[in-house]
Structure 1
Amino acid sequence: MVEYIADYLENIRERRVFPDVKPGYMRDLMPDEAPEQPEPWQNIFNDIERVVMPGVSCVCRGEGIEVREGRER
């Protein structure tokens, strides 16, 4: 997870500042039920990038970076 965060911050300029998704976009990307068996960490990280990150906005203030849930404005 630390490596993922470090990579995210290192490549943050390549990401969108505000999400280009509509409210509820995750609904079609997520299964209806949780898996019966545990999944490998790599699958979970892939889901974070594929499902969660498109809805995240990054607001930079000064030297710090604040990551918050994307919201339609």
Structure 2
Amino acid sequence: MGNTGVGMLLGDLSVKTVWLLCLGVLVLGGAIWYGVWRSGHLRRSERAQLDRNTEAAQRRDDPQKPVTR
């Protein structure tokens, strides 16, 4: 890098470390973004199964309570 810019301030080894750190942040951020984006979407069959399981759990917990729709 020579004696200019970031290379002058940090040194060659540190510049490589900063670039690897930035790359790691981007990869980790992308993985987190994908996980958050994907977790919000359920297929129709998955949503129906979740609703059935919720109703069954509510009936099991309180049989006297009417199921609302």
TM over 0.5: no
TM-score bracket relative to the smaller structure: under 0.3
- When Rg is computed on C-alpha atoms for both structures, the one with the higher figure is 2
TM-score by length of 2: 0.27
Of Structure 1 and Structure 2, the greater strand share is in 1
Of Structure 1 and Structure 2, the greater helix share is in 2
- Higher RCO (C-alpha 8 Å, min separation 6): 1
TM-score by length of 1: 0.26
